[in-house]
Amino acid sequence: MPNVFVSRIAGDYLGAIRAGLDHIGLSAFVSRSSVLFVKPNLTLPVYSPGVMTSIAALEAVLIALSDYTPNLILGDSDPGGYNRFSMDAVYHRTGIFDIAARLGVKVVNLSRVERRRVSLSVGKREVEIGLPRLLTDDIDFLVTVPVPKVHMYTVLSLAFKNQWGCIPEPGDRLRLHPYFNEVVLRVNELVKTRVAVVDGSYGLDESGPLRGRPVPLGWVVVADSPGAAARVVCDLLQIPVERVPHLRLAAERGLVPPFERIVLNQDLGPFVADPFHRHLALTDYPGLLAFRSPVLAYLAYFSPFAALLHKLLYLFRKPFYDYGLYTSRSPGETEMPGETPPHPRRD
């Protein structure tokens, strides 16, 4: 049966996460030779509560996992969608490189490692994309470390959605938006998502994933499957799984267990927040329409009109961050100016 642990953080991330990993019986499926990949949510150039995995939580996850195996790799892909920026710069600004060096953890930019071509079913056709070979071939499983946040397009971003960032090319992510529900579940299968540690120090209400209302929650959830984590966190945020399209599909496929099958360490009642709600501004609707339509996705992100359309949008909507300062290329490009392309060896 699925196991889920929930606890207050109370200034002790490490103690809570260690207890959570013990509750889910991590030692039963991890040995000293196991290779684990840790996937945080790093979606802005600088840390923002409720938007990104907190650095304190990430450090605690790495320390707790090192009790089981020394073979830990941390990584994410270049974020930014249409306004791409380098994940390496995020590692520097947030101090992740320094933490990893101190703990002996390898850090990779998934947009810079060797890729394996995989076939994905999208609608009635098959498409090929590149996924990091490191994830598909070289690790035992992936530990996802998301934050609980409302998402303007997917309703919620949790333990499945976080692996959307395992697709290394932002352009591929944009092209696949209209097929998100199917593709995100397939990506989780291919990258072997097994354990979830949900950083609930803050949640993001109303209009995430990049902008919204940060809500102090003060808890952490540890689960032995992304689906069990999603079921419990949906209850904590008072958003039914059935209202989240990709989670509804996952439940239909048996990937999100019924609540009554989950083994909890304690009652959820004291941890339940006031109900979270998605709130869309008028300027969010163009992106939502492009998220749902292949034709509009092409028009908005890849057509000759894309730059003009974005300039018009930003006459009415404040940018999520300083695009001129942080962005480096459009979604169709495959190499950062002044940077080396993905190295042919496994990294």
At 82, is the pLDDT very low, low, confident or very high (cuts 50, 70, 90)? confident
Q: In degrees rounded to 5, what are phi and psi of residue 179?
A: -115, 25
At 185, is the pLDDT very low, low, confident or very high (cuts 50, 70, 90)? very high
| Exposed/middle/buried for residue 261 (C-beta within 10 Å: 0-12, 13-18, 19+) | exposed
**What percent of the chain is modeled with pLDDT above 90?**
81
| Exposed/middle/buried for residue 245 (C-beta within 10 Å: 0-12, 13-18, 19+) | middle
At 325, is the pLDDT very low, low, confident or very high (cuts 50, 70, 90)? low
Can you tell me the mean pLDDT for 153-159? Answer: 97
Tally of domains within the chain: 1
pLDDT of residue 322: 61
User: Per residue in 333-344, is it b (16+ CB within 10 Å) or e — as a string?
Assistant: eeebeeeeebee
Q: Can you list the positions of beta strands (E) in the chain?
A: 3-8, 35-40, 71-76, 106-109, 115-122, 125-132, 141-145, 149-151, 155-157, 193-205, 213-223, 263-264
- Its domain, for residue 49, covers 3-326
C-alpha atoms less than 13 angstroms from C-alpha of 250 in its C-beta half-sphere: 30
At 63, is the pLDDT very low, low, confident or very high (cuts 50, 70, 90)? very high
Checking if the pLDDT of 335 tops 50, the result is no
Residue 302 CB: number of other CB atoms within 10 A? 16
Can you tell me the mean pLDDT for 19-42? Answer: 98
Checking if the pLDDT of 336 tops 50, the result is no
pLDDT of residue 212: 93
User: Per residue in 264-295, is it b (16+ CB within 10 Å) or e — as a string?
Assistant: beeebeebebeebebeeeeebebbeebbeeee
Do you know the residue count of the chain?
Answer: 347
Let me know if residue 8 belongs to a domain. yes
Checking if the pLDDT of 339 tops 90, the result is no
Can you tell me the mean pLDDT for 78-100? Answer: 90
At 331, is the pLDDT very low, low, confident or very high (cuts 50, 70, 90)? very low
The residue type of 26 is L
Q: What is the pLDDT of residues 240-286, one digit of tens each?
A: 999 999 999 999 999 999 999 999 999 999 999 999 999 999 999 99
At 293, is the pLDDT very low, low, confident or very high (cuts 50, 70, 90)? very high
Let me know if residue 70 belongs to a domain. yes
At 327, is the pLDDT very low, low, confident or very high (cuts 50, 70, 90)? low
Let me know if residue 344 belongs to a domain. no
Across the chain, mean pLDDT equals 91
At 323, is the pLDDT very low, low, confident or very high (cuts 50, 70, 90)? low
Give the separation between CA 332 and CA 132, rounded to whole angstroms. 18
Let me know if residue 333 belongs to a domain. no
Let me know if residue 294 belongs to a domain. yes
Let me know if residue 221 belongs to a domain. yes
pLDDT of residue 328: 53
| Exposed/middle/buried for residue 327 (C-beta within 10 Å: 0-12, 13-18, 19+) | middle
Let me know if residue 267 belongs to a domain. yes
User: Per residue in 114-144, is it b (16+ CB within 10 Å) or e — as a string?
Assistant: bbeeeebebeeeeeebbbbebbbeebbbbbb
Q: Determine contact, residues 344/114, Cβ cutoff 8 Å.
A: yes
Let me know if residue 331 belongs to a domain. no
Can you tell me the mean pLDDT for 149-160? Answer: 97
pTM for this model (two decimals): 0.91
Distances (CA, A) of 261 to 98, 264, 268: 41, 9, 14
